A and B are shown apart, each in its own frame.
Chain A
Amino acid sequence: MNFFKEAKKYHIPFYSHPQFIFVLNGLIILLLDFIIFAILNNLFPEPEIPLISVFILTAVFLILSFLLYQVFSKNLEVNRLKTEFLSIFFHEIGRPLTVFDWTLDLFFSEKDEKEKEKYYQELKKVIFGMKNLLRDTVTLNRVEEVKKGDLRKEEIPLRKKVEEILNNFKTQLEKKKLRIELFIPENLTVFLPLEIFEILLKNLIENAVIYNKEGGEIFIEAKRKDKKFFFKIKDSGIGIPSDDQKFIFQKFFRAENAKKTEGIGLGLFICKEIIETLKGRINFESKEGKGTTFFFSLPLN
């Protein structure tokens, strides 16, 4: 029970942390037990009655306080996520607005038509980036919402789902002439919360597409083994520089060689959040210039 550290994380004094209150509550119940036992022992000659009464009382109190503890903990976490989410949003909305403002200034003071066209393209890109930001923050918000609610699971036919997502990237796939190979058994289904699982797959597939080279390849492999689901996606893209590898799951981090591609650095952060929610593990192997392989596993019970 490290509520001192925990309390710091939530910016509250340690004595208002649910864990602390729960422990304190336990001690008070214990103390009450002794007192009640002593009183009842004097009133009833049979030793069973005081013992059983104390036992029942303790159980009821403990269950009650545990329920309260859970409600408080959940609220605390939800609150923290909300604050964090807002700070992300404030931070990320300012950047494109300023860039837009400044580029517009340059656009108007530029005389050369060709240069003007370049600024116009930049302006379009900024707007595109803002739309992405909006889309990703909405997704992140949704993931947090799903997280605090009940994760309703359903049976998902994996191969069909992956093909469906790939189909959404059809234009890019054709433009880059990417070769796709799927190693997913036709009958493989997984019992998982569809909404967030889909986002997870979509983000990983999107990365394999947009960071791939022309004429590149994407291999997707999935299997199920001992109540665990394994997924692997390998691309022949630009790879992640070794210096950047330890940062890639951080929000807003973008690898050095990824900055040419529009994006804001929330995709993998969202993946990590989803994997954590589903109590799984995610990892990757990558070589700059050669490609990246992401793999994750999820428990299926």
Chain B
Amino acid sequence: MEKKILFIEDDRLFQKTLGQKLRAEGFNVISAFSGQEGLNKAQKEKPDLILLDLILPKMTGLEILKELKENDSTKGIKVVILTNVSSEIERIQKSMELGATAYLIKSEYSLEELVKKIKEFLK
């Protein structure tokens, strides 16, 4: 069965590029452009993996992660943090404490490498 990935990211271009690539690789990608949308879809769709951007408008990635991990129906889902730059180190650490599986710094990977990484988490 094809794996379901929920991609919570407000940036249209990241959604488009990474989303497209993951779909081409055979994943069922569900896009969410805001925190609230992401939380709703996480409960409804029960994805195998959540890719979560840290910097989102209104509800931050950390707040979303906290809610995901506090809710019984979503706390088992693996959450991989995506972030723009490594200078976010404080927030990355905080997200690992909150129960994120791993973090990936977008600018350090090509699309190919990033997808390879994501596949590893789904094994």
Instruction: Enumerate chain A interface residues (CB-CB to B < 8 A).
Output: 87, 90-91, 94-95, 97-99, 101-103, 105-106, 122, 126, 243-244, 247, 253-254, 256, 259
Contacts and interface: CB of A to CB of B under 8 A. Distances in A.
Contact of B84 (A94, A122, A259): A94
Contacts of A253: 57
A247 B58 contact: yes
B102 interface: no
Interface in B37-71: 57-58
Contacts of B34: 256
Given A91-B87, A94-B84, A101 B111 contact: yes
A106 B17 contact: yes
A94 B106 contact: yes
Contacts of A247: 57-58
Interface residues on B, range: 20 to 34
B17 A103 contact: yes
Contact of B13 (A90, A122, A256): A122
Residues of B contacting A: mostly: helix
Contacts of B85: 90-91, 94
Given A90-B87, A94-B85, A247-B58, A99 B13 contact: yes
Contacts of B97: none
Contacts of A95: 11, 14, 84, 106
A91 to B, nearest CB: 6
Interface in B74-119: 84-85, 87, 106-107, 110-112
A98 B106 CA distance: 7
Contact of A102 (B10, B87, B111): B111
A278 to B, nearest CB: 28
B110 A102 contact: yes
A243 B35 CA distance: 13
B13 A103 contact: yes
B21 interface: yes
A254 B57 CA distance: 8
Contacts of B14: 95, 98-99, 102
Contacts of B21: 102, 105-106
B63 to A, nearest CB: 15
